[in-house]
Homo-oligomer: A and B are copies of this chain.
Amino acid sequence: MTTRPKPRYQQLKESIIARISSGELRPRDRVPSEYELVDSTGVSRMTANRALRELNVEGYVDRVAGVGTFVADLKAASHVLEVRNIADEVELRGHKHSATVLRKGRRQATKDTAALLHIARGSALSHVQLVHHENDVPIQLEDRYVREDFAPQFLAQDFTQITPSAHLSAISPLQEAEQRVRATRPDKHVRKQLQMGSAEPCLLVTRRTWAHGQPVSVARLYHPGDRFELTGHYAPPGTEKSYQGNADIIELRNVKK
C-alpha cells in the first residue's frame, strides 16, 4: 500500500520554505512567480497561487500585485515568532538603546544547559552576559548561551552594536521559540547591574529558540520588576484586514511610574 502523496500546493510550500531556510533564497530575493511555478512544476496556476498565498499569510513572503513575490525580511520572520528584539523595542519607543558587555567567552555545557539545548554535557557553547539600557537606564540583564556549532562567529560580534538575538536571526531564520515568565527575587549581581532596590522583585524571562528543528540558544532575561512589564495584544484573525494581526504579541513596555 503506497502512502498517499502530500497535496501539490503543500509540496510547493515546503519546497520554498526549504529554499529559504537553507539560505538559497535570502530576504528580499525574488520567489518564482505563479506562472513560473506553473511552467516549472506543471501545476495549475490556482495551485501555485494557493501555495504562495498561504506562504504570504504565514509571513514567509511578501507579495505585491504587479510586481512579484519576495522572501520576507528576517525581521518579519521573527515577527512570526512574536518575539522581538529588545533594541527594536526601545527604538520603537523613540528611545536610545545601548548595551554593556559584562562577560563573554567559551563554556562547556552544564548538565542543565545541555538538557535544555538537547546536546551532550560538555559540548562547546558560547556565552555572553550583557546589560541593555534604555536612555542609559538599565532595563534588561541578558545571560545567553548559544551552540557554538550553530553560530561559530558569535563571540566575534560587537554586542554593543548588534544584539545577540539579532545576530542569531541574521544567521538563520528562527523557527520556534519557547518562553517562560516568572517573578523572582534578584540576586546581588542582578540587583547591582539593574540598579534595583533591595526589595524590588524581578521579572525573569527564560527563552529558548530553535533553528533547523533544534534548540540553538537559551537566554535568561532579567527585568527590573516595578519598572517594566511584558504586554501582549491578541487580535481576532480574519476580521477586516487584520490578517497577520497576531504580529505584535509580545513587546516590552515601560511602565509610567
Give A contacts to B, CB under 8 Å: 13-14, 17, 46, 54-55, 57-60, 80-83, 175-185, 199-203, 223, 225-226, 228-239, 246, 249-250, 253, 255
Contact = CB atoms under 8 A, between A and B. Distances in A.
Count the copies: 2
A232 B176 contact: no
B183 A183 contact: yes
A180 B230 CA distance: 6
Q: Which interface residue of A180, A202, A228 has the most chain B CB atoms within 10 A?
A: A180
A192 B229 CA distance: 24
A216 to B, nearest CB: 14
A183 B80 contact: no
A208 to B, nearest CB: 9
A79 to B, nearest CB: 11
Q: Which 8 A-B pairs have the closest CB atoms?
A: A201-B201, A183-B225, A183-B183, A182-B229, A58-B238, A183-B201, A58-B237, A183-B203
Contacts of A200: 185
A181 B178 contact: no
B202 A234 contact: no
Contacts of A54: 238
11 contacts: A81-B236, A82-B234, A176-B235, A176-B236, A179-B231, A179-B234, A180-B253, A181-B230, A184-B226, A199-B199, A201-B202
A81 B253 CA distance: 20
A181 B237 contact: no
A201 B82 CA distance: 27
Given A54-B238, A238-B54, A183 B199 contact: no
A202 B183 contact: yes
Contact of A182 (B60, B226, B236): B226
Nearest to A53: B50
A179 B17 contact: no
Q: Which interface residue of A82, A182, A226, A239 has the most chain B CB atoms within 10 A?
A: A182
A87 to B, nearest CB: 20
A178 B234 contact: yes
Contacts of A239: 14, 17, 175
Nearest to A231: B180
A201 B186 CA distance: 10
A199 B198 CA distance: 11
Nearest to A82: B234
Q: Which interface residue of A17, A57, A231, A234 has the most chain B CB atoms within 10 A?
A: A234
